[in-house]
């Protein structure tokens, strides 16, 4: 005995061709069967031609096309039945055959006939089913389906531009209806996709980006990143991820370039597809920082804590530098898991306690190093406070209190291993001392926590009052822009950097600005792109502005810019006692120069010696 089950609706087939509501079949985006029976009582209505058609009993249905191709499948489990499909356009009184199929023999345990035809959206089509050379009745199911139209970003030239935001903001999309992108460079981590869609983004000034995806109805996807342009030879693979974490069941990919930055301001293309041709909805985001600097997950990127207000923070990776090892990790035997670094310094002496309150039942650990006179990364030696306790009330975990951990709660031990209760002794601190703290998410869940301070016996926290300390300020000329770079060692209440430019070294005007870090201890790198530099020699300087409006000026630097294709551009302008003119490489012996004044009088002429000096190893120049 054979059993066959399909989720089918009531019978809608009719004995003769017609457009009644009851015999209309819905066109779905995939095959969804609906009952289509040909009772023995039905009679011949139309002598079908082709595909073994004949003037035998027939059953009819109809549909309205929703796509440019439509597939019709008919299944029967009736023993001995041999269905034939004919499809027509036009009207019942003047049918025009557009396709037919009789590819299989008589049914033993069940057979399916399938026909795909070209259709016109909005046009009606009629489906005729008969039994091969017989009038016997049989039962079956019919499905009519047309794939959804390809999405706008089906191919690389239609890539949807994604914003690069400071935090991940998921945007919803679908790859339903997507088709293969042809001969574009194949992914480096998977077979050629058949359901891929495309996105693009412009890398920020730092080049540091994090690309994440999130499942919707599509739960297993892959992702390839390309640099270059959509022209097939110009696309260059830049990263690929198929199974993000197969063993955890998290099968939506991500690509992380926070530690290996992409090219600033360059355009990149993201190709996303479903594993095994799967389609459905999903979300994607691109996040990144526009201000250069170390990651807060690394010691050098630590945040300075000001005051005793609670701090909420979420870390999602381990950073780019391994700051902890057996020489300085103390009780943190797992070294760095998913943590964030902080600096703090008491502005008054007293006692400090703290509590780490996770947003969920998460195993958080921490360590504190110090006291020290300045921040030194990575911290040297074992921490003075350390807790690596398991969370409580979890099978196999020895804790018996709450998930909170910190300094205080009656604890007197300075450090504890995995068998502690999560609490260590408070710290007595003196004004001016500096400490480094690391807070670690052992469970690696990316869940937030709140850090709450308790200050007693007169203790208080405040940012160490340090002015902006500029480490360097320099520029680099490129063919179409000038890139300015600078670095700070310390900042206190800094607001922004105004970038100013001058053609003569004395009259400066602002050409843009960047947000400053605010308050920090440790090196922070910045960069600014001048997309329209002045030809010849220009001068740049930084106006450093604090939150209270206090201004400090950097020294000016000079840059010699020559755009691609420019030649015979004298500089500086205006000139006093000499001018410089850059000439193309390859200038041969015998070339002459002539300088005339505003009235056209020749004031200097002569032969150019190609053996004279080179400027930046690329161009010769003639002086005086």
Query: What does the pLDDT look like over 467-506, one tens digit per residue?
Result: 456 777 888 888 888 999 988 766 666 888 999 999 887 7
CB 574 within 8 A of CB 583: no
* pLDDT at residue 402 greater than cutoff 60: no
Distance of CA 547 to CAs 308, 346, 467, Å?
A: 20, 22, 12
- DSSP letters, 425-488, are --EEE-TT-EEEEEEEETT-----EEEEEEEETT-EE--------EEEEEEEE-SS-EEEEEEE
* pLDDT at residue 579 greater than cutoff 80: no
Computed on alpha carbons and rounded to an integer, the radius of gyration of the chain in Å comes to: 37
What distance in Å separates the CA atoms of residue 416 and residue 434, rounded to the nearest whole number?
Answer: 23
Distance of CA 467 to CAs 83, 306, 470, 519, Å?
A: 87, 16, 9, 9
What distance in Å separates the CA atoms of residue 164 and residue 204, rounded to the nearest whole number?
Answer: 7
pLDDT bracket for residue 86 (50, 70, 90): very high
What distance in Å separates the CA atoms of residue 506 and residue 508, rounded to the nearest whole number?
Answer: 6
Task: Phi first, then psi: give them for residue 623, nearest 5 degrees.
Answer: -110, 165
User: Span 73-78, mean pLDDT?
Assistant: 93
pLDDT of the residue at 183: 66
Q: Count CA within 13 A, CB hemisphere, residue 337.
A: 20
pLDDT of the residue at 420: 85
What does the H/E/C string look like for 229-249?
Answer: CCCHHHCEEEEEECCCEHHHC
Task: Phi first, then psi: give them for residue 505, nearest 5 degrees.
Answer: 85, 0
Q: Which SS3 state, helix, strand or coil, does residue 275 take?
A: helix
pLDDT bracket for residue 610 (50, 70, 90): low
pLDDT of the residue at 445: 76
Query: What does the pLDDT look like over 580-606, one tens digit per residue?
Result: 665 555 555 566 666 765 555 666 777
> How many residues does the structure list for the chain?
624
* pLDDT at residue 266 greater than cutoff 50: yes
Higher pLDDT, 355 or 518: 355
- DSSP letters, 347-384, are EE-EEEEEEEEESSS--EEEEEEEEESS--SSPPS--S
Q: Which two tokens stand for residue 295?
A: 């990651």
pLDDT of the residue at 489: 62
The answer to whether the bond into 508 is cis (omega within 30° of 0) is: no
Cβ neighbour number for residue 267 with a 10 Å cutoff? 16
Smallest CA-to-CA distance from 431 within 459, 463, 466, 465 is with: 459
pLDDT of the residue at 584: 55
User: What proportion of the chain, given as a percentage, has pLDDT over 70?
Assistant: 80
pLDDT bracket for residue 390 (50, 70, 90): confident
pLDDT of the residue at 290: 67
pLDDT of the residue at 430: 87
Residue-wise over 448-468: b if at least 16 C-beta within 10 A, else e? Answer: ebebbbebeeebbbbbbebeb
* pLDDT at residue 407 greater than cutoff 50: yes
What distance in Å separates the CA atoms of residue 182 and residue 111, rounded to the nearest whole number?
Answer: 34
User: Span 425-449, mean pLDDT?
Assistant: 85
pLDDT of the residue at 66: 92
User: Which residues have a Cβ under 8 Å from the Cβ of 623 and sit 6 or more positions away?
Assistant: 578, 579, 580
* pLDDT at residue 622 greater than cutoff 50: no
The answer to whether the bond into 371 is cis (omega within 30° of 0) is: yes
pLDDT of the residue at 400: 45
What distance in Å separates the CA atoms of residue 448 and residue 352, rounded to the nearest whole number?
Answer: 23
What distance in Å separates the CA atoms of residue 474 and residue 272, rounded to the nearest whole number?
Answer: 40
Query: What does the pLDDT look like over 10-21, one tens digit per residue?
Result: 557 999 999 999
Query: What does the pLDDT look like over 131-169, one tens digit per residue?
Result: 999 999 999 999 999 988 889 999 999 999 999 988 888
Query: What does the pLDDT look like over 161-176, one tens digit per residue?
Result: 999 988 888 999 999 9
Relative to beta strand 94-101, strand 83-91 is antiparallel
* pLDDT at residue 325 greater than cutoff 60: yes
pLDDT bracket for residue 427 (50, 70, 90): very high
Q: Which two tokens stand for residue 143?
A: 């499905």
Query: What does the pLDDT look like over 41-73, one tens digit per residue?
Result: 999 999 999 999 999 999 999 999 998 999 999
pLDDT bracket for residue 559 (50, 70, 90): confident
CB 204 within 8 A of CB 164: yes
What distance in Å separates the CA atoms of residue 191 and residue 534, rounded to the nearest whole number?
Answer: 49
What distance in Å separates the CA atoms of residue 313 and residue 300, rounded to the nearest whole number?
Answer: 17
pLDDT of the residue at 621: 33
Instruction: Flag the least confident range among 227-236, 281-290, 447-456, 501-510.
Output: 447-456
Smallest CA-to-CA distance from 222 within 202, 244, 203, 250 is with: 244
Q: What is the DSSP letter of 172?
A: E
pLDDT of the residue at 506: 78
**pTM greater than 0.85:** no
First to last CA, the chain: 105
Sign of CA dihedral 580, 582, 583, 585: positive
pLDDT of the residue at 620: 31
What distance in Å separates the CA atoms of residue 368 and residue 385, rounded to the nearest whole number?
Answer: 5
Q: Which two tokens stand for residue 60?
A: 């009819």
User: Span 310-326, mean pLDDT?
Assistant: 82
Cβ neighbour number for residue 492 with a 10 Å cutoff? 21
Relative to beta strand 140-145, strand 69-76 is antiparallel
What distance in Å separates the CA atoms of residue 377 and residue 575, rounded to the nearest whole number?
Answer: 49
What distance in Å separates the CA atoms of residue 269 and residue 486, rounded to the nearest whole number?
Answer: 30
What distance in Å separates the CA atoms of residue 192 and residue 237, rounded to the nearest whole number?
Answer: 13
What distance in Å separates the CA atoms of residue 82 and residue 54, rounded to the nearest whole number?
Answer: 13
* pLDDT at residue 568 greater than cutoff 60: no
CB 282 within 8 A of CB 214: yes
What distance in Å separates the CA atoms of residue 587 and residue 584, rounded to the nearest whole number?
Answer: 7
CB 254 within 8 A of CB 212: yes
User: What proportion of the chain, given as a percentage, has pLDDT over 90?
Assistant: 44
User: All domains of the chain, ordered by start, with CATH?
Assistant: 21-145 (2.60.120.1220), 156-288 (2.60.120.380), 299-461 (2.60.120.380), 470-561 (2.60.40.10), 570-623 (no CATH)
Q: Which two tokens stand for residue 164?
A: 């690069």
Q: Is 114 exposed, middle or buried (0-12, 13-18, 19+ CB in 10 A)?
A: middle
User: Span 509-524, mean pLDDT?
Assistant: 79
* pLDDT at residue 617 greater than cutoff 60: no
Query: What does the pLDDT look like over 91-132, one tens digit per residue?
Result: 999 999 999 999 887 767 789 999 999 999 999 999 999 999
- DSSP letters, 66-132, are -SSEEEEEEEE-STT--EEEEEEEEETTEEEEEEEE--S---SS-EEEEEEEE--TT-EEEEEEEET
């Amino acid at each position: 005995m054979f059993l066959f089950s399909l989720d089918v609706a009531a019978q809608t087939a009719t004995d003769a061709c017609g457009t009644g509501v009851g015999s209309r079949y819905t066109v779905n985006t995939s095959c969804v069967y609906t009952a289509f029976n040909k009772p023995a009582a039905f009679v011949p209505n139309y002598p079908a031609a082709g595909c073994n058609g004949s003037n035998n009993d027939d059953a009819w249905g109809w549909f309205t096309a929703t796509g440019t191709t439509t597939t019709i499948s008919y299944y029967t489990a009736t023993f001995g039945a041999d269905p034939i499909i004919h499809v027509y356009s036009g009207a019942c009184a003047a049918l025009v055959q557009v396709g037919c199929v009789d590819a299989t023999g008589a049914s033993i345990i069940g057979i399916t006939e399938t026909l795909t035809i070209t259709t016109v959206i909005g046009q009606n089509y009629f489906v005729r089913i008969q039994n091969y050379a017989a009038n016997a009745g049989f039962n079956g199911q019919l499905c009519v389906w047309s794939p959804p139209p390809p999405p706008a970003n089906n191919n690389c030239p239609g890539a949807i531009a994604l914003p690069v935001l400071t935090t991940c903001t998921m945007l919803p999309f679908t790859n339903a209806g997507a088709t293969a992108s042809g001969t574009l460079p194949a992914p480096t981590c998977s077979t050629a996709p058949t359901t891929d869609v495309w996105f693009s983004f412009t890398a920020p000034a730092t080049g540091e980006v994090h690309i994440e995806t999130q499942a919707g109805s599509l739960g297993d996807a892959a992702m390839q990143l390309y640099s270059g342009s959509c022209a097939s030879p110009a696309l260059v693979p830049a990263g690929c991820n198929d199974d993000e974490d197969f063993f955890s069941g998290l099968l939506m990919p991500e690509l992380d370039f926070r530690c290996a930055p992409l090219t600033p301001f360059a355009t990149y293309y993201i190709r996303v597809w479903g594993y095994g041709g799967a389609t459905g909805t999903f979300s994607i985001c691109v996040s990144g920082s526009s201000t250069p600097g170390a990651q807060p997950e690394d010691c050098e990127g630590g945040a300075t804590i000001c005051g005793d207000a609670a701090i909420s923070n979420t870390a999602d990776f381990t950073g780019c530098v391994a700051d902890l090892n057996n020489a300085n990790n103390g009780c943190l035997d797992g070294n760095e898991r998913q943590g964030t670094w902080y600096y703090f310094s008491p502005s008054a002496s007293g006692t400090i306690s703290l509590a780490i309150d996770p947003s969920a039942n998460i195993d958080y650990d921490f360590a504190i190093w110090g006291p020290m006179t300045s921040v030194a990364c990575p911290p040297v030696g074992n921490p003075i406070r350390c807790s690596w306790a398991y969370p409580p009330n979890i099978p196999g975990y020895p804790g018996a209190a709450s998930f909170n951990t910190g300094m205080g709660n009656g604890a007197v031990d300075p450090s504890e291993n995995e068998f502690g209760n999560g609490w260590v002794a408070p710290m007595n601190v003196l004004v001016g001392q500096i400490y480094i703290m690391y807070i670690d998410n052992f469970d690696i869940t990316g869940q937030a926590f709140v850090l709450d301070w308790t200050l007693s016996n007169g203790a208080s926290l405040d940012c160490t009052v340090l002015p902006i300390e500029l480490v360097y300020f320099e520029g680099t000329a490129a063919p179409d822009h000038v890139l300015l770079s600078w670095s700070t060692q310390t900042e206190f209440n800094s607001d922004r950097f105004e970038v100013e430019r001058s053609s003569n070294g004395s009259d400066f005007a602002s050409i843009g600005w960047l947000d400053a870090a605010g308050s920090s201890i440790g090196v922070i790198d910045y960069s600014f792109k001048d997309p329209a530099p002045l030809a010849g020699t220009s001068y740049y300087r930084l106006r450093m502005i604090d939150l209270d409006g206090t201004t400090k000026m950097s020294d000016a630097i000079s840059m010699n810019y020559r755009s691609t294709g420019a030649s015979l551009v004298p500089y500086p302008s205006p000139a006093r006692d000499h001018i410089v003119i850059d000439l193309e490489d390859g200038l041969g012996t015998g070339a002459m120069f002539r300088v005339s004044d505003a009235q056209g009088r020749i004031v200097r002429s002569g032969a150019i010696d190609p053996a004279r000096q080179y400027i930046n190893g690329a161009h010769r120049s003639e002086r005086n």
